[in-house]
Structure 1
Amino acid sequence: MMKYTFEIDLDRYKNLAQQKQKTHKKFLAGLAKKPPKQLDKIVKEVHEEVFLEIDCTKCANCCKTLGPLWTEADIERVAQHLKMKVSDFEVAYLRTDEDGDKVFQTMPCQFLGSDNLCSIYQVRPKACREFPHTDRKKIYQINNLTIKNTLYCPAAYEFVEKLSYRLK
């Protein structure tokens, strides 16, 4: 299958997402009230379609603006990969935020290269692997997160647009 990619205009996508916030919220709330039959199957198909059109390496906005939450397993895995002690890794890269979560000290991600590729891709945090969460079952359980992600991620925006069109 051929992958089509294009340059991504983040400002355009953010403006579109802001304009569609109410419409998208209403659509997703409707899914939560009465999920259509085969919703998980349709979500998977739409997710795959979106990622044939959008190449994350043309954007990497999530890596530039949204830091992942780091689980203990993430910290241990990446520290081991970097041949660092967990404590040294945490001191070098992480801080504890107001919610008690481990997050990056600074953004953009220190592991993001100038080519928008991740230098720890094979061992990246779970939050990075799952972003923008558009391929999960029972998508309506994360409506607030999906809406938020449309403001940062063109793929999340396209996902909601295509899903709403598909379920008209």
Structure 2
Amino acid sequence: MQSLITDLTIIQQLSQEREAENDAFRSFLKNQKSESVDELVHAINNEITPKIDCTTCGNCCKSLMININTQEAEALAAHLSTTVEDLKEKYIEESLQGRMIMNTIPCHFLSGTKCSVYEYRFEGCRDFPHLHQNNFSGRLFGILMHYAMCPIIFNVVEELKIQVGFRNNNEIFV
């Protein structure tokens, strides 16, 4: 496994430099067996994620729109000693699809780089960057939208490039 890059400035710079490479990688993965890619991604993710402390970054809280379900809204309202109606009035709006979402970006509950309601954060927040889910290849376009802002995504994708034979150090094999 290559050494991890967690400096957001470097990640953003490399992301710009590798935009065409990542497009080629998406095409490359389409020719790979989806289940095999998922197994690799899950293994890489399980190795990388514990080594990166998300609470020192918080970039996802600065850029993501998170869906909220009724149970999550109720739990957070109870934690904040308020009503769901007050919570909706202050923090939540309805999306065009009729879902509840936070009404501002960055998230109201982001304090520095940490979530001020961490124990009550929404499922979409807890599960981000969703690399434990299946169909990585089919979701890669969306995943790459966060490649420049999430050290976990960046490092998992870069390690995956090596493990599937797309890249060896800085040489691309396509």
Q: TM-score under structure 2 normalisation?
A: 0.79
Segments of 4+ moved more than 6 angstroms? none
Query: What is the total number of aligned residue pairs between the two structures?
Result: 163
Q: Distance in 1 between matches of 2:109 and 2:66?
A: 12
Counterpart residue number, 1:35: 33
* 1:95/1:102 contact within 8 Å kept: yes
Partner Cα separation in structure 2 for residue 95 and residue 47 of structure 1: 33
Identity of aligned residues (%): 28
Structure 1 residue 5, shift from structure 2 partner: 8.6
User: Which structure 1 residue ranges, 5 or more long, are not aligned?
Assistant: none
Amino acid at match of 1:119: S
| TM-score of the superposed pair, with normalisation by structure 1 | 0.81
Is 2:4–2:155's contact at 8 Å kept on the other side of the alignment? no
Out of 105, 108, 126, the residue aligned to residue 107 of structure 1 is: 105
Which residue pairs with 1:145 in the alignment? 142
Which residue number in structure 1 is paired with residue 70 of structure 2?
A: 72
- Give the partner amino acid of 2:132: D
**Aligned-pair Cα RMSD in Å:** 2.5
Q: Give yes or no for contact 1:93–1:105 (8 Å, CA) kept in 2.
A: yes
Structure-2 residue corresponding to 1:48? 46
Would the alpha carbon gap of residues 29 and 77 (structure 1) be closer, same or farther in structure 2, given more than 3 Å must change? Answer: farther
Measure the CA separation in 1 of the matches of 2:9 and 2:101: 25
Contact (CA 8 Å) 1:31, 1:140: kept in 2 or not?
yes
Alignment partner, residue 127 of structure 2: 130
Structure 2, unpaired ranges of 5+:
166-174
- Partner of 1:38, secondary structure, is helix
Q: Which moved more, 1:150-159 or 1:102-111?
A: 102-111
Q: CA deviation at 1:90?
A: 0.7
Residue 164 (structure 1) aligns with: 161
Which segment drifts farther, 88-97 or 36-45? Answer: 36-45
Greater per-residue strand proportion: 2
The answer to whether the 8 Å contact 2:37/2:137 transfers is no
Q: C-alpha separation between the residues in 2 aligned to 1:66 and 1:12? A: 21
